[in-house]
Amino acid sequence: MALYNITDASQIIDIQAINAACNQIDEGAEDFKYASNKVNDAKAYMGGDAMRVDGETMEESFETIANGISNVKKNINDYTNSIRESAQAVYDAQQRELAEYKAAQQNNN
């Protein structure tokens, strides 16, 4: 059964372009790791007592912010991996469909 109605290789998704785009997104996500490290550096530089007000510090807030920023990078990477996997599944299905189409065409000749 034809799911994508592939009859020519030009109709198959461009898996290399999809992977390249995901790689560029992942590279951009590295900025979140850098930002997270800078927040941790700021926390370490200021120390726990530097921002103490009424016995409360900003130390936990810095850690929460750094973890949140770091999680954005992880979420982006998880998303791009999901895109790659889905695109590969579609590509493989389209390749099979094209092979089946060509085989049917040869059998009809």
**How does residue 109 score in pLDDT terms, banded at 50, 70 and 90?**
confident
Q: Is residue 5 part of a domain?
A: no
CB proximity list for 87: less than 8 A, separation 6 or greater: 13, 15, 18, 19
For residue 71, give both structure tokens. Answer: 């999680």
Q: Is residue 82 part of a domain?
A: yes
Q: Is residue 87 part of a domain?
A: yes
The pLDDT assigned to 28 comes to 95
Q: Is residue 57 part of a domain?
A: yes
**How does residue 47 score in pLDDT terms, banded at 50, 70 and 90?**
confident
Phi, psi at 56, each rounded to 5°: -105, 145
Q: Is residue 25 part of a domain?
A: no
Q: What is the pTM of this model?
A: 0.79
pLDDT in tens, 53-77: 777 776 778 888 899 999 999 999 9
Q: Could you tell me the residue range of the domain that residue 53 belongs to? A: 37-100
**Which DSSP symbol is given to 50?**
T
Number of domains the chain is built from: 1
